[in-house]
Amino acid sequence: MSIDHIVLGLISLNPCSGYDMKMEFEQGGAGMLSALSFGSIYPHLKQMEQDGLVAAVQADENGRRKKVYELTAQGWEELSDWLEQRPAYPIPMRDDLLLKMLFWGTAGEEREKLITHLQVRRTESNDLLNYIRDWQSNGKSFVDEYTELVLTYIQTRMEAELNWIEKAIEQLKGEPHLPVQDPHWLSVLQKARKNRALMREESTQEE
Name the residue among 85, 93, 97 with its Cα closest to residue 34.
93
Q: Rule CB under 8 A: is residue 126 a binding residue for a copy of itself?
A: no
Plot region of 135 (φ>0 → left; ψ -120 to 50 → alpha; else → beta): alpha
Q: How far apart are the first and last CA of the chain?
A: 57
Among DNA, a copy of itself, none, residue 146 binds (CB under 5-8 Å by kind): a copy of itself
Residues 52 and 77 sit within 8 Å (Cβ to Cβ): no
Residues 35 and 22 sit within 8 Å (Cβ to Cβ): no
Among DNA, a copy of itself, none, residue 120 binds (CB under 5-8 Å by kind): a copy of itself
Question: How many CA atoms does the CB half-sphere of 47 hold within 13 Å?
Answer: 11
Q: Rule CB under 7 A: is residue 87 a binding residue for DNA?
A: no
Q: Rule CB under 8 A: is residue 207 a binding residue for a copy of itself?
A: no
Stretch of 37-45, 60-68, 84-92 lying at the interface with a copy of itself (CB under 8 A): 84-92
Q: Rule CB under 7 A: is residue 42 a binding residue for DNA?
A: yes
Question: From the list 5, 15, 31, 40, which residue makes contact with DNA (rule: CB under 7 A)?
Answer: 40
Q: How far is the CB of 43 from a copy of itself (least distance, A)?
A: 19
